[in-house]
Amino acid sequence: MKKKIIILLVLIGILVALLFVASKIYHFLLSFQGPDHFESIRFKLRELPSKDLINKADNIFYEIFSLQSSLALDVLVERKEREAIPLFLKLLRSRNNEKRKIAFWALASINDPTTVASLMEIVQKGEDHQDYIDALITLSQMRYEGALPYVIKLAEKFDADVNGSIGMIKDIGNPELIPVLKDIKARINPRDTFAKLSNSLIDEAIAYLESIQKQQEEQIFQELPPA
C-alpha cells in the first residue's frame, strides 16, 4: 500500500513538473507575438472587479502556470487599489524580486499611512537588507519624514547619485533640507567620476525644494490678516 502511494505521489510530481515546463514553453512562444498580446490580456483583466484580480494575483496556480498573476498585479497597481494592500504587503516577503519591486511601486502609488510600519521594519533591518533602498524610496515617495535620518545618511556618502538618496530628498519635499543638499554639493570632489551627475541632481533637487518653499511663503502671506 505504501509503495502504491509513493508511486502515485511520484507520478503526480512528474505531471506537475511537465505542466510547469509546458507552461513556460507556451509563454516563451507567446512572447514572440509582441506586447499587443499581453496588452489584450490586460484589457480583459481590467474588466474584472478588484476582488477577482486579487484572487488571480494571489493564486499559486496562476502564479506558476499562467501570466495572469503578474498581469493582474499590474492592473491593481494601475487602479491604486487599497483593497489589495494586504496582498502587496505579503509580496514584500516574496522570494520573487520582480514581485517585490511591483509591491513597493504599488505601495508608493497608493500612499496609505497604514503601510509605513511594514516599510520601516525593512529599513530598520539595515543597509545590508536586499530591499533597504527600495523601502526608503517608497517611504520618500510617500513623503514620510520619519525616513529622513536614513536618507540623509545615504546622501552623505560618495555614491549619492547612484543610490538615489538625492531623489529621495527631493521626493520628501521638505525645504528645510536645502542646506543639507548644499553641504553635500560643497563636499563633492570635482575630479570625481560622477561629480557632474551628482551636482546636476542636487541642483535639480534644490530648485524643486525652493519652489515648494516659495509656494509655502506665498500661502502664509495670503493667510495673513489685512493690515
* pLDDT at 163 exceeding the cut of 50: yes
Which residue type is seen at 105? W
* 165-172 vs 178-186: helix crossing angle, rounded to 10: 160
The mean pLDDT value of the chain amounts to 82
- Angstrom distances, CA of residue 114 to CA of 120, 122, 139: 11, 15, 12
All 3 cell numbers of residue 81? 487599489
Which residue matches cell numbers 535620518?
149
Q: Which residues contact 160 (CB under 8 A, 6 or more apart)?
A: 154, 166, 184, 198, 201
Per domain, the residue ranges of the chain are 143-218
10 Å CB burial of residue 46 (0-12, 13-18, 19+) is middle
pLDDT digits 0-9 by tens, 75-92: 898 889 999 999 999 999
Compute the C-alpha angle 196/201/203, nearest 5°: 95
Query: pTM (2 decimals)?
Result: 0.77
What's residue 1's pLDDT?
Answer: 65
What's residue 65's pLDDT?
Answer: 47
